[in-house]
Structure 1
């Protein structure tokens, strides 16, 4: 486990001295305490830490879903800090992809309609070649006319993956994307995320508590008590488990 280097502006997304405080006075909780970390382009990074370490808060601030108390968030060359809700909504729609544990598909839409929904809302046409590639790779060719209730959990998450990737976002944020899946479906989703980095040059930032999931990443960023506690390059299940055990022992 090594300590982290300061983030570079040229990275896909970065936090600089990020602080997030919930509440005030005696009940204030400092969820992020001066976090500085960058996420490289075409890299798959996992964010890990114990419950309450700040990993979900960091991802939400990086993705423009939550606002920091102080510090800066940079998406490429764009500073998100201090932007209006309207601007952040546009950034999330046009430049960021999301994959959630709960899939977040609209039940009244077909798989095909769910996949292209963000582009439809933006008034953009999908890249037909990329869409066909994703449908093929994700094995959705026979499922495009089905609604979410007619799909398995793994199939629903594949639809969510296609939706996240079809707009060629600068970053895909994945929040416990295998949390509602069995081990086989979870492994398939993680493989697809990893392959999107290799084959499409996608940048993926994933929050997970699972050392097996983290082992699919190129790099793991470890958080403890709202601070960056270290990094693991080329992680495997053993190195991640050992690092988490060290953090727990030091707590």
Structure 2
């Protein structure tokens, strides 16, 4: 598999980042019990690029993603999605940004068990009162191999199929940026590779921007770059990563 940036991606790498953080802090507790989950992180996520965020348990990687995605508010610093500043935004407006600009794929799939695959995929558009672009819907369904599963409920599908439905739900809304929180954490190696290939092709074929948190070096090797966090700080970055280079970087982090 090629991990080089496509021409589309390079074109998208200029201009306004899809997401950015400046001097981001997240502090829990006070005094002796204070924990700095994020300790002054500044980072950009270029449009049309696939980034993986890694680090030991407690490094701040999930906190960073949750702050970037507007799911959590930082203690200090600035978060932008495109040119929109999220910091200090009212909850109602933040909900709209999450709905309109951001796609999510979670470890636990987060599908509604009583709805079919089709209904799960179109649910966010329905809530927003938007019509689904049928041509784009068909293209995504075809690419993800879900045409024969649209009338099935989650309980009638394998974990890999459920996660493909979750990917379709995220992509059908054409988000500015797609976040994955351990998106392959509950999958076997075949389903995991399938979902990662889908995210990779979303970047290469549709100039989508993808950011995932993962502990799996093989998953991170699908990305264009890997960011390594430890103790709430950005410690290292790898471009065009291989599994071996990622493992070496993780070992070095544990020695800090």
1:14-53 matches, cutoff 5 A: 14-53=20-59
Q: SS of 1:168's equivalent?
A: coil
State the distance in 1 between where 2:24 and 2:15 align.
15
State the distance in 1 between where 2:96 and 2:87 align.
14
1:9, distance to aligned residue in structure 2 (A): 7.7
State the distance in 1 between where 2:144 and 2:80 align.
31
Gaps of at least 5 residues in structure 1 are 1-7
Work out which of the residue numbers 146, 149, 154 in structure 2 matches 1:140.
Answer: 146
Work out which of the residue numbers 196, 207, 216 in structure 2 matches 1:210.
Answer: 216
State the distance in 1 between where 2:249 and 2:167 align.
29
1:25, distance to aligned residue in structure 2 (A): 2.1
1:156, distance to aligned residue in structure 2 (A): 0.3
TM-score normalised by length of structure 2: 0.94
Moved more, 90-99 or 19-28: 19-28
The yes-or-no answer on 1:228 pairing with 2:231 is: no
Aligned residues of 1:9 and 1:77 also touching (Cα < 8 A): no
1:112 matched residue in structure 2: 118
1:233, distance to aligned residue in structure 2 (A): 0.2
1:9-36 per-residue CA deviation (whole Å, 9 max, x = no partner) reads: 8100001000000122211111000000
1:206-243 per-residue CA deviation (whole Å, 9 max, x = no partner) reads: 00001000000000011011000010000010110000
Moved more, 50-59 or 119-128: 119-128
State the distance in 2 between where 1:139 and 1:205 align.
23
State the distance in 2 between where 1:128 and 1:112 align.
12
Aligned residues of 1:9 and 1:76 also touching (Cα < 8 A): no
State the distance in 1 between where 2:105 and 2:236 align.
25
Work out which of the residue numbers 182, 186, 200 in structure 2 matches 1:176.
Answer: 182
The yes-or-no answer on 1:201 pairing with 2:207 is: yes
Q: How many residues align?
A: 243
The yes-or-no answer on 1:10 pairing with 2:27 is: no
Q: Which segments of structure 1 move beyond 3 Å, counting only runs of 4 or more?
A: none
1:72-151 matches, cutoff 5 A: 72-151=78-157
Cα RMSD between the aligned structures?
0.9
